[in-house]
Amino acid sequence: MSLTRTVLLATALPLLLLCGNAAIAQSAPPPAWDQLTPAQREQLIGPVRERWNGADAQERGRMLEHARRWQSMTPAERAEARHGLHSWKQLPPDQREEARALYSKLRTLPEAEREALRERWKQMTPEQRRRWAADNPAPPRRESRGP
């Protein structure tokens, strides 16, 4: 074996082992809550505490309701909720406003009218949707993270 090859193997082997250990560490499941250090727990809780302390009573009520609903969801429902939030974040601002207008209108309608509006919405062109949303604006948004 040549000296260059020996040096290369001697240098590369520890790097490969480190990469392998990093991959194993990344694939290992995260620890249970009881196994977290106090610092790790604080990292997780800190942002929620800050948001809670900065919220008014109405927002705190919404936060508690969201937590209650999240706890009652099945894993499949949680995955669907995450997917929906990811899809929402990918929407351009004008399409978000259209969706807000549509959903705020849907909340006020009886079920049969809701279904009719959904079907009509599916048939609309993008320009028709923009006009409809302009004619039926959503109420002003509260400061929040979601739709």
Tens-digit pLDDT profile for residues 61-109: 999 999 999 999 999 999 999 999 999 999 999 999 999 999 999 999 9
Q: Which two tokens stand for residue 61?
A: 């009520």
Q: Which pLDDT value is given to residue 28?
A: 85
pLDDT higher at 129 or 27: 129
Average pLDDT value for residue range 26-54: 91
- Indicate if the pLDDT at residue 7 is higher than 70: no
Q: Is the pLDDT of residue 18 over 70?
A: no
Query: Is the pLDDT score of 53 beyond 70?
Result: yes
Reported pTM: 0.55
pLDDT in the model for residue 22: 53
Residue 119 has what pLDDT? 95
Spatial CB neighbours of 133, under 8 Å, sequence gap ≥ 6: 97, 98, 101, 102
